[in-house]
């Protein structure tokens, strides 16, 4: 039995070489789960970590009854880890937070307030604590993405989101898709809302992002999205005799 079906929200936490963050991550998530406005569980997705992250994840899950994990021996990237978590979850909603804890799990409650009416609710990093150069990269990438996709999202890189699970399972996934969730959700006629959330500097571990995957990768992905949007298949069955 997949125990995530017993909860309203499954919080997906992709992990890649984050052993230095695991103790603090456990503390924050353990503190949040009882405060969640809906029943919530945590699903760690180990994305081929080469450090001690998987062993620490297993220990965390053994200590906490609402914590689960899946693991891959190969590192496939954030989008693949998110898809693996979404495909595993059987709760009504899925949430997403990065294991670097630059956002606060307690802010899930802000997003969940609007989840009944919006298929995707995402944070906007208020008073962002990244370097000026990092913020500039994101500003350029977000501006180009909006011009190419037509979505109105201002901060698709914010690592705090809540989605309807059935919609999340339907949207097309590819490497880099985590930056295009509002645009991809629109392909399924899903509604999108952004809300300001808290943001903190990374205090442990090493960022997995650099100039190439912040700018060059999303630049090429925009063209892939435009190609896919023109060819995206939509249909609805209005009548059948299966229940006759």
- Token output for 133: 């150069």
**Residue range 148-166: average pLDDT?**
82
**Which CATH architecture is the domain 3-129+158-205 placed in?**
Alpha-Beta Complex (3.90)
Instruction: Specify whether the CB–CB gap between 84 and 70 falls below 8 A.
Output: yes
**pLDDT at 244 exceeding the cut of 70:** no
Helix (H) or strand (E) holding 18: none
- The residue ranges of every structural domain in the chain are 3-129+158-205
Among 41, 58, 19, 27, smallest CA distance to 204 is for 19
How do 40-47 and 67-72 pair as beta strands? parallel
Query: Which is it for strands 160-164 and 120-125: parallel, antiparallel or unpaired?
Result: antiparallel
Task: Check residue 37 and give its pLDDT.
Answer: 98
Quote the pLDDT of residue 144. Answer: 56
Query: What is the Cα 121 distance to its own chain's centre?
Result: 11
Q: What is the pLDDT of residues 117-148, one digit of tens each?
A: 999 999 998 776 555 655 556 665 665 556 55
- The pLDDT of 216-237, averaged and rounded, is 72
- For the chain, give the mean pLDDT: 86
Give 90-119 pLDDT, tens digit per residue.
Answer: 999 999 999 999 999 999 999 999 999 999
Q: For residues 112 and 183, is the Cβ–Cβ distance under 8 A?
A: no
Winning range, highest mean pLDDT, from 90-94, 209-213, 215-219, 223-227: 90-94
pLDDT by residue (tens digit) across 8-26? Answer: 999 999 999 999 999 999 9
Q: What is the mean pLDDT of residues 50-78?
A: 96
Q: Output phi, psi for 132, to 5 deg.
A: -60, -40
Given this model, what pLDDT does residue 119 score?
98
Q: Which pLDDT score is estimated for 49? A: 97
Q: What secondary structure letter does DSSP report for 189? A: T
Mean pLDDT of 70-94: 95
> Alpha-carbon distance 140 to 137, whole Å?
5
Highest mean pLDDT among 124-133, 181-190, 205-214: 181-190
User: What pLDDT does residue 130 have?
Assistant: 55
């Amino acid at each position: 039995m997949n125990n995530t079906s017993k909860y309203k929200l499954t919080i997906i936490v992709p992990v890649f070489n984050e052993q230095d963050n695991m103790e603090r991550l456990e503390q924050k998530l353990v503190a949040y789960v009882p405060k969640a406005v809906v029943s919530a569980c945590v699903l760690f997705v180990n994305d081929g970590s080469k450090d001690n992250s998987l062993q620490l994840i297993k220990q965390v899950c053994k200590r906490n009854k609402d914590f689960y994990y899946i693991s891959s021996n190969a590192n496939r990237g954030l989008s693949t880890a998110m898809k693996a978590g979404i495909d595993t979850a059987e709760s009504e909603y899925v949430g997403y937070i990065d294991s670097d804890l630059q956002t606060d799990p307690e802010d899930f409650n802000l997003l969940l307030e609007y989840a009944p009416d919006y298929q995707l609710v995402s944070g906007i990093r208020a008073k962002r604590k990244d370097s000026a150069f990092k913020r500039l990269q994101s500003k350029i990438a977000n501006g180009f993405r909006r011009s190419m996709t037509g979505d109105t999202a201002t901060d698709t890189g914010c690592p705090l989101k809540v989605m309807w699970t059935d919609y999340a399972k339907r949207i097309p996934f590819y490497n880099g898709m985590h930056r295009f969730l509002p645009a991809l959700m629109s392909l399924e006629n899903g509604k999108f809302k952004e809300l300001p959330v808290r943001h903190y500097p990374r205090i442990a571990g090493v960022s997995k992002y650099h100039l190439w995957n912040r700018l060059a990768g999303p630049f090429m992905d925009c063209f892939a999205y435009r190609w896919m949007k023109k060819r995206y298949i939509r249909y609805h069955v209005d009548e059948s005799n299966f229940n006759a």
